[in-house]
Every structure is written in C-alpha cells, then in structure tokens.
Structure 1
Amino acid sequence: MIPSSEHPPGRAVRTRHMAEHLHGFLRDLTDHGVGVSVAKKIHFLRAVELSEHDDLANLYWIGRISLTTSPGEHEVFDPIFWRWFSATPAAPVAKPEPAPPDDGPAAAPNAARDSADHPHTLADRGTGQAASPATRPGRLTFRPTTAAEAQLIALLRRDLPAALPRDVSRRRRPARRGDVLDLRRVMREAARTHGEVLSLRWRHRPSRQRRITLLIDVSGSMKQHSADLLRFGHAVLTSCERAEVFTFGTRLTHASGALRAADPDAAVEALSAVVLDADGGTRIGTALRDFLTNRRFSTMARGAVVIVFSDGLERGDCSAMTDAVRRLARLSHRLLWWSPLACDPAYRPVTRAMAAITDHLDALTGVCDLRTAHDQVTSAFSLVRGPRVRRHHSGV
C-alpha cells in the first residue's frame, strides 16, 4: 500500500489518502485511552502494507491483534474502528445452533456474543460489515437548553471561579514584594549602574485556581440526569482556569475538547460524536481504573478537586471500584461524590459498592440537576478549603 514509482498517479493519490485515514484512526485510538505505542503503530502499518487481502474483515483483525492487548482496549477499539471504516456496522450474526427448549429467547444474544470470539465469523463475510463484533453504541441526544437552564448556566459561570480554592504555584515569579530576593535581576540592573545596587527585586509564588476534574456517569441509570450534568461540565470548562471533564459508562472518554464550545447546545452536539457508550451499561470500577492507569489522565487529578457524578450502582464485584476510589482520594485535594439518589433525605449508602467507598470520600451529597449543582457550589463548596477532614457519613 506504499506508493512507488511503478504505481500510476491515481493509485498514489488513493494510497496517500488511505495513509492519512489510518493515521487519523490511530490518533483517535490514542485520544480514547488505548495505549498505541510507536512500535504498535509500525507493526500495524507494516501488516496492512504486506497484507494480500483488501477486505474490511482483514483490516479489522490486523488492527485488533496489533493495537490492543486487553479486553478493555477491545471494547474501545471496536466502535472506533467501525466509525472510521464503516458507515453502518452491525452486530455479528451467529450461525444457527441447536438450543435447549427451555432457553427461550435468551439463547440468541448468547450465541451472537459467542460468535464474536471466533475469527471465521468475520472472515466468511467478505467486507465484514455484517459481522462486526460490536453493536452500534448509544449516542447522546438532548433537547435544546431552556431559558431557565441557560440562566442557571450563567449563574454557575459567575459563581464557580470564586467557589474553587486556590493553590500556591511551585514556580516563583517576579513581583514588587516577595519573600525571595531576585539576585539575577538585581545583578543585571547593577551592571547598568557601574555595580551600584539602587533597588532590590523580589520573587514570590503566586496563587492559582486549583484544577477541577469531573467524572460524569452517562450510563442508562443516569439517563434522565445526563443532560444537566454535562451542561454543568460545560459551565465548569468555560469558567474555570484549569478544568477537565470525563464521561464513563462502559468505557472512559475524555470529553473536554468537545465541551469547550461557547454554546451549550453546540457543545453537547459535538459530544455526541465522541461519547460512544451513552445510555448503556455501567462499569464504574473499570472506568476509574482506566483513568488512574493512564499517566496523562491521572495527573489531572493530582491536587485537584475531583467530583464524580454517579449513582454508584456498580454491577458485579465492587473491589475494582473500591480500590480506584481509595487511590483517587489519596491523589486528589478533595474527592466529592454527587449522586441523584442522595437527593432523597432517606437515602443511605447501603449498597455494597457505596458502603465500601464512603469512608474514602470527603462528601457524598445529592445533585440531580443544574439547580442542585448550583446549590452545592454556593453552599457546600466550603469543605474544599482548609485542612482535610474525612467524613464517615453520607453528608445528606
């Protein structure tokens, strides 16, 4: 697939466009947290170049084998691949197999899932479009922002910068008054006056706003609250000096770039092309673990105010979620958990997952819309200042 002098001009142009498309696909994988190293990129491109088959199924398996190393990366790889290389990916079609009479309708999904584990399912289909191992993911679709919501967003933009705590920078800057003498500036000015020191110059460590990092649950159980929480994330990104927003359902997505648009509706519309697991299942522990194991992402939580928007309804074993929350609490300046379930005065964190993480949270409070989020910003954000005190209760 590499152009050469023997190829006609049209072939060279098509090959160049294909190379640009492949590199864009690799960048998209990296942006979504797949660890695509330079060596993996070289192996993938070399395998594509040497491949004797040009069908889509062959390209899929070359990419999956050479670029991914874990089941979590497989789940991220599949929807991104079909978004780049197929307009209408479909779920794999299972070969008919005899099933016990009492299995009923539940046998079909299991057969389809099992067929995705066998390479011949794709290889027998030519292009492979009808045999994608991933179903079409959920897309974010919300109604336009109302006038009342726009007013709340404006209030959040006004109040958020003052509510966040400030931190002292590690780097010193020139200042009129400070605690450290700026010897370089003093000597430089003295050289202009024949060695006479006429004035002293100082350096100090200026204060800056602490980073705020949001982790927003967009799974099916949070569907009715996702719109307001993402609009809150947009308000944070457009008003705070250092802010980052991530979404998670079955996978982690860095959503800051899409949400930086000036208009809230335009930001959410841009987000629909990035968040591919909306309104589906939830794997809180896996998403938080992926956040912490990605070095670029974990630095965004170090010394930051971290807010997790989730109902905490983890499925299966909650040990991954507990370990991730414990580590996130040590890494952050404050760890706040905002749950729509906690808006009920009778709510208590009695589920296995929430009971296990409560002692690691600085606060567990109820937030379900923009109004309750603004109330937390104006009234309860005081706990992010001063010495850290662990709260061994729900805080509701």
Structure 2
Amino acid sequence: MPDFVRLLVDFGRALRTSGLAVGTGDVLTFSGSLATLDPTDLVDLYWAGRATLVRRRDDLPVYDEVFRQFFLGAAAPASDLVALKATPAGAVAESAFVVPATEPGSEETSQERLGLMASTVDVMRHRSFAGCTDEELALLRRIMARLRLTPPRRRTRRTRAASSGRTPDLRRTVRRSLRTHGELVSLYWRERRRRPRPLILILDVSGSMADYSRALLQFAHTARRAARRVEVFCFGTRLTCITRPLRSRSPDEALRQAASLVVDWDGGTRIGASLDTFVRGWARRGVCRGGIVVICSDGLDRGDPDLLANSLARLSRLCHTIVWLNPHRGQAGPSVGMMVAEPYIDELLSGHDLASLEEFAALLPTLS
C-alpha cells in the first residue's frame, strides 16, 4: 500500500507539472476515494482522479494526456503496480473501454479508446449465470458491485418542518409571531417524515439453484452495502440468517463467511418450512413490517404445498410487497411451488442474468 500511495502522489505531481492546480488536499481526497475502490484497476483510477483532481472543464484534455502517459506510456512508472483488467474468455477482443474527452466549446463529445479493458458489458448483461465461466462470473461480480439499489420510502407518523403543506406548524408560527408582537406575518407548515422501507432477501441455495446461488449472493452483498435496512437469509432445507457475514467490505470474505454458516448448501428444498420459520421467528418480530420481501427461488419444493401457502399468506399480511425472482421462469412449465405461491406474489421477475437484476433495481423505487 505505501507503493500505491507514493504512486498517487507522483501522479498528482505530474498533473501539477503540466499546469493543473492540484494541491495536497486534492491528492489526499484522491487517495481516500480509492480506499473504497480497486487501486489496481485503471478504470477506477481514471474516474477517481477525474472526479477529485480536475476542477475545470478546460483541464480535461490535459488530465487525459497526463494519465495516458503516466499509466499507459512505454516508460510508465505504474506498469508493475497497476494491472490491466483483461477480457474474459469468449468476449470480443477488439473492443476497448471508452473514456469521454470533451473539448472546450465543442457540442459533440469525442470518444477516445484507451484500451484499458474490454467493454462487453452489454453482452454480459444478457448472459445467463448458468452459462458463465469463472472469469465471466468474476467480471459480472465487478459490474454488479456498481449496481445501486434504492428502496422505496414510506410516510411515517412523525412530522418535520416544511416550506408548504396541509398541516400548519402552530408552535413554530406562534413562536415567530412573538417577534412581531403577536401579529401572524408568516404561516409555517409541517409534513410527515419519509423513511426507506426495509428490504429482505430470501435466497434459495438448494441443488436446483446451484448455477445461480453464488451470483445471487453477490447481488445480496451489493444490496447490503447499497441500502441501510437490508436483511439476507438463505434456505435449502432450513433457514439461515447471513446478514452479519455480508457486512464485510470484501465480497470474497463475505461470501466465504456466509457459506460457512449455511449447512444445507446444494441440498434439498423445503420452501414452505423455511418461510414458516421466517414468519414465526423473524417476521412476527417486525423485521419485514412494511418492507419489501424478495424471494429468489425456482419454486421446486419437496415440502407440503399447504404449508407453503399458509406461510406466504401470513407473510403477505406482514410485509408490504412480495417480489419473486425465478431464474427458471419461462424455461419450462410452472412447478407446484410456483403455482401455490402465485396468488401471493405481487411482482414476478426473472433472476437468471444481470439484466433481470437491473430490471428489479429499476422497479424497486416504484414499490412504494
């Protein structure tokens, strides 16, 4: 890490030599921003530096040129410290990461190819998790880590001061009127506070979901870091809470700790019994009250269908919305579990690729 810090300081010195107004505080901000990114990724380096070290639009061409010479030149000092992120097997070889370089006064934005990494994101978004290699899953994990989830908000009973509204703020109005000897010069208002709804992810890690469970766990880790009130559970034949292990910043460490807690990985499936355990042990204590419950499963259940129906019926009365992600949706006829669960599902989506997860992320804010 000291080598990287020295590298970032040298980069800031190179920008200052080229005429950019880069101070010590800017370099500290640049270094601090890379603490949450991957400092060995040139893409993260470029955008972190552009966001923290460039103050004026006119400085963008100079920044791009210095960055290119410093990190991509023949005698680049960072050649042994920074790794180029290569294209996974099966991707298009000639594609390159595109960085916009806008010239002052021009209305069109030119696209310059820096050759940092393959831009096959659009192709990978529609590739099923079941058909991805280990390298492609690693690339999807990096893309998924940038996914942002915004849970919907609900109105609470508490109120706050507002510029307008329907409820007058009598206390504030009377207090301000004392300054004008009791004359009501201005009328003040209050509005109800809004809080994000809880998000609860219940993931199926049984044998029939083996091709999708790791990708869905990565999605749960992303959701846990993107939103505040997120609870994550796994189930096969029994229910396991993995919220605490997913607090780790490292995805690999978080998934390793979560996998160590799940004892029924790649085993059988008892959706009804697992949901019944969740309702009796967690939902009744207020975990999902007014929240969004997301069940990721293919619906292949070996348990009692009546237990599944009763559990979903009770769960639907305790939460706000039930969303079901079925990776096998549309591939074959509906399973017994899906037919039993369908009356209690508010939104049914597919979770077999990155595009379907992005569709859920876009739908989530509208579930208010």
Normalised-by-shorter TM-score class: 0.5 to 0.7
Which residue, 263, 270, 276 being the options, matches 1:276?
Answer: 263
- Cα distance, 1:227 vs structure 2: 0.7
Contact kept in structure 2, 1:343 and 1:365, CA below 8 Å: no
**1:146 and 2:146 are equivalent in the alignment:** no
Does residue 384 in structure 1 map to residue 367 in structure 2?
A: yes
Using structure 1 for the length normalisation, give the TM-score.
0.53
Q: For residue 348 of structure 2, what is the aligned residue in structure 1?
A: 364
**Whole-Å separation in 2 of the counterparts to 1:211 and 1:373:** 18
C-alpha offsets along residues 150-194 of structure 1, whole Å, 9 cap, x if unaligned? 11331x22xx22xx4332222111223232222233344455666
Output aligned runs, 1:234-313, within 5 Å: 234-295=221-282, 299-313=286-300
Change (3 A) 1:262 1:179: farther
Instruction: Give the TM-score normalised by structure 2.
Output: 0.56
Q: Do the aligned partners of 1:232 and 1:370 also contact (CA within 8 Å) in 2?
A: no
Task: Name 1:330's counterpart in structure 2.
Answer: 317
Deviation at 1:214, TM superposition (A): 1.0
Distance in 2 between the 1:326 and 1:296 partners? 12
Give the whole-Å Cα distance in 1 for the aligned partners of 2:340 and 2:213.
25
Distance in structure 2 (CA, Å) of the matches to 1:319 and 1:176: 52
Select the structure that is richer in helix.
1
Structure 1 equivalent of residue 328 of structure 2: 341
Q: For 1:281-313, what per-residue CA distance to the aligned partner results, in whole angstroms no more than 9, with x for missing partners?
A: 222111111111125665232222211001111
Paired amino acid for 1:151: I
Q: How far apart, in 1, do the equivalents of 2:202 and 2:284 lie?
A: 11
Q: CA deviation at 1:321?
A: 0.8
CA contact (8 A) 2:165 2:191 kept: yes
Cα displacement string for residues 127-163 of structure 1 (whole angstroms, at most 9, x for unaligned residues): xxxxxxxxxxxxxxxx796133211331x22xx22xx
SS at match of 2:302: coil
Aligned pairs for 1:150-165 within 5 A = 150-154=142-146, 156-157=147-148, 160-161=149-150, 164-165=151-152
Shift in CA distance, 150/295, structure 1 to aligned 2, threshold 3 Å: closer
How far is 1:220 from its partner?
2.2
Contact 2:299 2:336 in 1 (8 A): no
Secondary structure of the residue that 1:203 maps to in structure 2? strand
Quickly say closer, same or farther: Cα 1:176–1:382, change in 2 above 3 A: closer
| C-alpha distance in 2 between matches for 1:382 and 1:348 | 31
The Cα shift of 1:262 comes to: 2.5
**Structure 2 CA distance for partners of 1:270 and 1:187, relative to 1, 3 Å:** farther
Of 230, 237, 244 in structure 1, the residue corresponding to residue 217 of structure 2 is 230
Of 285, 307, 311, 1:320 maps to 307
1:77 aligns with none
8 A contact 2:322–2:347 mirrored in 1: yes
Tell me the distance in 2 between the aligned counterparts of 1:175 and 1:206. Answer: 10
Indicate the SS of the match to 1:341.
coil
Partner of 1:200: 187
**Cα 1:150–1:216, aligned 2, differ >3 Å: closer, same or farther?**
same
Within 1, Cα distance between the matches of 2:206 and 2:183? 69
Deviation at 1:265, TM superposition (A): 1.8
What RMSD in Å do the two structures reach over aligned CA positions? 2.7
Within the alignment, does 1:373 sit opposite 2:367 as a pair? no
Q: 1:348 is matched by which residue type in structure 2?
A: G
- Indicate the structure with greater strand content: 2
